[in-house]
Structure 1
């Protein structure tokens, strides 16, 4: 079901406050990322225990992300977002009081892990809102704005703001402050999305049929070849993002001569680039085609600019502006994968929620495989070998897109009739 909606540069104005809610919620959710592991160690626990807490959190988040799309479609995305919001608030408070304040490691694992189930339900359910309430020709650009709001929240404000206040108010108060941001986002979502239309098809299913629909989040990988190929491409999508965040700080600082603040600024430029180009590619992909943008600018772009990001400082040393150029180009090409979010439900139009769940699972697997590849290759081929391996996998993704069968309507001008155009060519 699609509804007519006004838009500004591809941003659906009927969902504007939903985007604001995503930004606020993910800002609060991102507050802890820069310091929580170190703070857990300061409380008296070992680095291994701190790492395990994040591992449990990540596993719970990946499971929730996998099921979030189809859960949102079965119970409505508004209910799924409310559940995610309430869970985050309740288990964050329990984590703070009984876990951190009492220095109880088992409660830290329990409550932080359960809280990891919350944000994917809130975040990814909004994608179901988008695909069910935005005109077909705007879905790609609407998803671009979604990822821009997400990145601005968790990647920029959520990381930068705590660095300004943590020395003044302390870690615990920063974590309490994050609750205010999440509550603001949750309340805005509840109020602004209350009257958004939802599909009635799932609501009319029996309980047995609803469980069968939820199982499609697993079975689609086997039953839909295009979904399977797209899943592999989505896994490859963010290999450099997650992998470079781990291996590049040491190389830039220890080998290329950059200071730690310089490296942090370069990586921040990368994130700013993805925010800008998330919106840009979302709009452009409606004209050029989702698969073409993913293939030529995402896959090939990342294959080239992953290598560029490494070799510019390797050749020219600690030249900040050349390194910043490499970060900008890599961010732009990483953002060119943004139509993937719109592609998955379009490949399985009768089971959009399940398709979105597979997309979310693939994103979680990317977060796993990126450091795993680096861990396996670093002892034998060093950093350059890891970079080349990532680049080769982007070439593989390029090849796989040639076998994804998908025909997308093209909209050359406002008010013109849409034309069927094969996006596989």
Structure 2
């Protein structure tokens, strides 16, 4: 299994493992979007920052992402307000509505080589019911004066190059990136600002004795504040546990770069796309003209998801039928029952963030920077959502099994009956 993003990453970053005992103002555990965004923000403020990553920067969900820089969450904004209440809902909606601005500003400021394209995203209606849902989402966003447009069937066909959709909702705020390159670029930018970033450094224990003391196999960090940004790839440390999330997997496959004769009318503006199906399908093009197709599920020995992808590619784009896939990779999503991210207090001057439910790039960037500001200042008004002291996801293992079983059944039977 090969990850396209690892094969095509233009940003390089290597952080030596931690050795010895060091002190810091802020210690960060996890080198994805949230952790690297926090490191960059804190270093810009002049703080002494140490980031610890067990593998390599972007190894987790950040480097396995679809690469869609969305505005907001999967939930429509009215539902966010229903879940959180009016004041808190407005606070979160407003913070994430400008999330893409934050991402693309960092890319420009730090010259991050991550194939940035900001031509919007397309939420595509796979059925008449799906189009009705998009109409509702459009009405909510239009009421907030968001730059969105509802496309009819013909316009959706022109925008995607596929006859499969009843319409689409275009969000002009959004775009696409090479996600692993973005994560590594954030780490490189943070290091340029003075942050100490260590790869291949697994945390073994965490304790608080006036400061936070984070122990690894080869060293120790003593810091005033702690930020845990491990999300779906979290491993409980001795002395510190975090809420368990529902285990959800998402896989992607990429074709070889397509010749101009095949790709000319497929996503001519390079929008990133996903549909309204019960088991969501995503598709997009990268800078080299590869068609990338993804859906929920964990690759299996029977090849159920891969077989579905080959059929789906031909159905979406008949002229691509039979095109071979060159890369096939997957990652874990940090899913919460209400699809709203959580910021959890872990103790004095300590926060954890998790549960982006498939929307990691913009929210991860925004939440990471906000948590760094809060931990350095002690002012929680920087946060886009109020922190909680604890969080529980009941029956998380059974829910994960339910999602995976449903995805396999749908993919095994799709257009065969």
The TM tier, using the shorter chain, reads under 0.3
Could you tell me the TM-score, scaled by structure 2's length? 0.27
Task: Give TM-score, length-normalised by structure 1.
Answer: 0.27
Higher strand share: 2
